[in-house]
Structures are given as structure tokens and as C-alpha cells.
Amino acid sequence: MEKKRYALRKLLETVEKELLKKPNQKTLDRLSLLAGFQDWGSFQEALHGEADGKTNYSVEENKKEMTR
């Protein structure tokens, strides 16, 4: 019985470690692309900073306004 308890404890510790791991940068960048941002840093800046998420498109908007 003690062996089973030890094995179960080790299994739970391993699962907890995997659940608490932070995703790697590549994964975070891909998730931010789904949300419409260029990379994770841009997403974090928009989430916690003053950026509105439109900073990536400001150059395109300026070009459109200049051609009008």
C-alpha cells in the first residue's frame, strides 16, 4: 500500500509541475497572433499599458489619409 501511495504522490507532483509551467515564447507569440497582435510583447503592452492594439496599423492609416 505504501508503494502505491508513494507512486501516486510522485504522479501528482509531476502533473502539478507540468500544469504550472509557463508556455514557451513561441507558443505565446502564436496565441497573441490569434488575438490580433504581432507578438506576445505587443499583446502584453495593450493589455497592461496604454496601447489600444491599433499601433500596428497606424502606418497604413497614415498612408490612406495622405492619398485622399
What's the pLDDT tens digit per position in 10-41?
888 888 887 788 888 998 999 899 989 999 99
The predicted model scores a pTM of: 0.46
Angle value at C-alpha 45, between 40 and 48, nearest 5 degrees: 120
**Which are the contacts of 38, defined by CB distance < 8 A and separation ≥ 6?**
32, 56
What's the CA gap between 66 and 30, in Å, rounded?
Answer: 33
